[in-house]
Amino acid sequence: METFDNFSRYKIFLAVAECKSISKAAAQLYISQPAVSITIKKLEENLNTTLFIRKSKGVELTENGRKLYENAKRAFHILLDTEDRLRFHQNTGYLRIAASNVLCKHFLMPYLKEFTSLYPNTDVSITCTSSSVACSMVEQCNIDLALVAKPENLGTAIYHSLGVIEYIFVCTPAYRDKLNCDNDKIFEHGNIILLDKDNVSRRHLNSYYAQNKITPLHILEVNEMDLLIEFAKMGIGVSCVVKQFVEEELKAGSLIEIELSKPIAPREIGFLYNRIQPMNENILKFIEVQSD
């Protein structure tokens, strides 16, 4: 009976740790808020330690709470993985991946094609979301693998680099002639087409603007990299795009690169996975398929 009680307590503990709120955890688990509070209190008493720091707008894990969270999360993943293997014994496992639309299209697809060919009995799910959300999903162990720009703080994650992506400004030759200005003056004369402010790539570009004291006068915002490319090809303005994504257009001459005196710093991209959860053997299989 005690083992079952502890199992339930740890499930509630994990929910509170991930929601950072007793009330939100209660709503997620469909139980009362007092029941959650009592469960956490009993768990703290049994372990003779404080697991959460209570704050006005929620709770935060203590150092001991963080240690318990990492190991409890690992234990639950082992249990769930074992259940899946028993339930689907012919299956070779699963792999949950997250990536932005553009990274999925231009970088993830070759891996996915090769992996599904080599391991057809592995269940693969893809979540298309922003890089910031994908990183959060890795941190919370809600996915196994993310393809993202390298985060500043890896935390408990492991990062496998795929190299760098370069950001450049492009437009049609006709639009460049229309601007009739030096390359570094395009921000004063042209329509600058950028990703929206919530995008990680846009924040990277904003840092470039701030460092170089640049203030574009005319900005058009879109929410996808493919639209940046299409709008530039239509001659609407100058788009900031990833160079690797427009190599064909640059080679054909339908788009030209506007070379700035101070280029935008490249960004590293790669696979991110969490070391606190049990290692899903399919993670390394997926990462390595392109090197076979």
Q: Which amino acid is at 97?
A: I
Tens digit of each residue's pLDDT (9 = 90 or more) over 48-106: 999 999 888 889 999 999 889 888 887 887 777 777 666 654 556 788 999 988 888 88
Lowest mean pLDDT among 2-16, 50-64, 129-143, 213-227: 2-16
Count of other CB atoms within 10 angstroms of residue 207: 12
272, 143 Cβ separation under 8 angstroms: no
| Encoded tokens for 59 | 């709770």
Confidence check: pLDDT of 270 > 90: yes
Lowest mean pLDDT among 30-44, 114-128, 149-163, 273-287: 273-287
The SS3 call for residue 222 is: strand
Q: What is the pLDDT of residue 247?
A: 92
Beta bridge partners of 55: 58
Rounded Cα distance between 191 and 241, Å, is: 14
Tell which residue, 147, 148, 190, has the closest CA to residue 172.
Answer: 190
| Encoded tokens for 272 | 């991110």
Is 251 or 131 the better-scoring residue by pLDDT? 251
Alpha carbon of residue 42 to chain centroid: 36
Q: What is the pLDDT of residue 70?
A: 84
Q: What is the pLDDT of residue 71?
A: 83
| Encoded tokens for 25 | 């955890």
Q: What is the pLDDT of residue 87?
A: 62
Q: What is the pLDDT of residue 195?
A: 87
Q: What is the pLDDT of residue 76?
A: 80
Rounded Cα distance between 134 and 129, Å, is: 6
Rounded Cα distance between 182 and 47, Å, is: 68
Q: What is the pLDDT of residue 64?
A: 92
Residue ranges with strand state E in 145-232? 145-149, 157-165, 167-171, 191-195, 218-222
Is 76 or 208 the better-scoring residue by pLDDT? 208
| Encoded tokens for 1 | 């009976």
Tens digit of each residue's pLDDT (9 = 90 or more) over 145-199: 999 988 878 877 889 999 999 999 999 999 999 998 999 999 999 999 998 887 7
Alpha carbon of residue 153 to chain centroid: 13
Instruction: Tell me the mean pLDDT in the region 129-149.
Output: 86
Beta bridge partners of 139: none
Half-sphere exposure of 74 (CA within 13 A, CB side): 13
Confidence check: pLDDT of 1 > 60: no
Tens digit of each residue's pLDDT (9 = 90 or more) over 223-267: 888 889 999 999 999 999 999 999 999 999 999 999 999 999 999
Q: Which distant-in-sequence residues (6+ apart) come within 8 Å of 265 by Cβ?
A: 204, 208
Find the angle CA(145)-CA(199)-CA(165) to the nearest 5 degrees.
65
Rounded Cα distance between 193 and 140, Å, is: 34
Burial of 242: CB neighbours in 10 Å, binned 0-12, 13-18, 19+: buried
Half-sphere exposure of 64 (CA within 13 A, CB side): 9
pLDDT band per the 50, 70, 90 thresholds, residue 291:
low
The label of the residue with tokens 């639309």 reads 101
